[in-house]
Structure 1
Amino acid sequence: MTANRVLYLLGSAAPPVLNIAGVIERAQAADWDVCLGLTPTAARWLDDELPALEELTGHPVRSQYKLPREPDVWPPADVAVVAPATFNTINQWALGITDKFVVGFVAEAIGKGIPIVTMPCVNAAYVRHTQFDASIATLRVMGVHVLYGDGGFVPNEPGQGRPNGYPWHLALDAATSALTRRDAGRE
């Protein structure tokens, strides 16, 4: 099976990223060609699994910017999903702080018109910080489909995480819907 839809799956260092192989397999079963990008800390968390993840996707796992002389190693994205998206990733993205490959890609993708879905993974203590709500609002204004609150990720209290209950299916469903909307707009 050759997938003709390219999904950039971009993850931050939150516990659900430890289950990323299963998410890739579900996306591939739905006919997505998946390219995996990770924040540097998430890549460190998955260091022992990176070769297997590259074999699973058929693409290098990226966590750093490429050098100007290096070719692009991924096909162009049809849709990007940023999940799990940590407090840091959400805020850096909304503020345009692009020192990380994952954040830099999605910041630029907004301007390129690539559909983007994000689903935070933060605890309730982090969301009490006023910048978080401002960042969520900023991303929504820029056209990012944010799966947060009702119909998305609902924060838990600190120390009461549910990494196996992270609603990955919502992110994958939203990616499919975003692509369908984009394609309908081209007709």
Structure 2
Amino acid sequence: MPDPNPAVLDYLATRRSPGAKTFTGPVPDRGQLMQILTLATRVPDHGKLEPWRLVVLERAAMARLADLAEKRARALNGDAEKIEKGRGQFDRGQLAVVVISSPKDAEKVPVAEQVLSAGALCMNIVHAATAAGWGACWLSGWPSHDAQFRALAFGCADHETVAGIIHIATPGPMAADRPRPDLSRLVSWG
């Protein structure tokens, strides 16, 4: 017989991601962040490969990455919107955890499962930070998907990608909830 956990069910039923643009200080200190990351790394990880790694961005790194994103956007002949989108999350960010998907060469564990483990880690960081009382927002943006930016910003090797950039800080005002999926359109029974 199941033993439900009403507090967790209520959390999941009401969870929303606050907009990172509304975040303010303070942010978690290193001890608090390590507690969040310790909880978050309890993810599906077939073969105990740890097919991901983490890069913590503090304020000084954010300023450097904002400049790097602008430089890269200009090299790509990006317009003002592309430059702003590239700089934006780093200009406004105070603390973020970059989850790097780093699949290992493992015969018994498909790369797809390793990549999904990195995605699960992103969601767990959001949940753990939120449970600890912080605002957490999972972003990416074009710089995350640009191989040259990833290499310069996060030291990504050719086989590595950015699964997400999780911004963590004091949440600002919560926006109205967004419409949720109509499960009658998306769920089939076989």
TM interval, shorter chain, is under 0.3
Higher relative contact order (CA 8 A, sep 6+): 2
TM-score under structure 2 normalisation?
0.24
Which one has the largest radius of gyration? Answer: 2
TM-score under structure 1 normalisation?
0.25
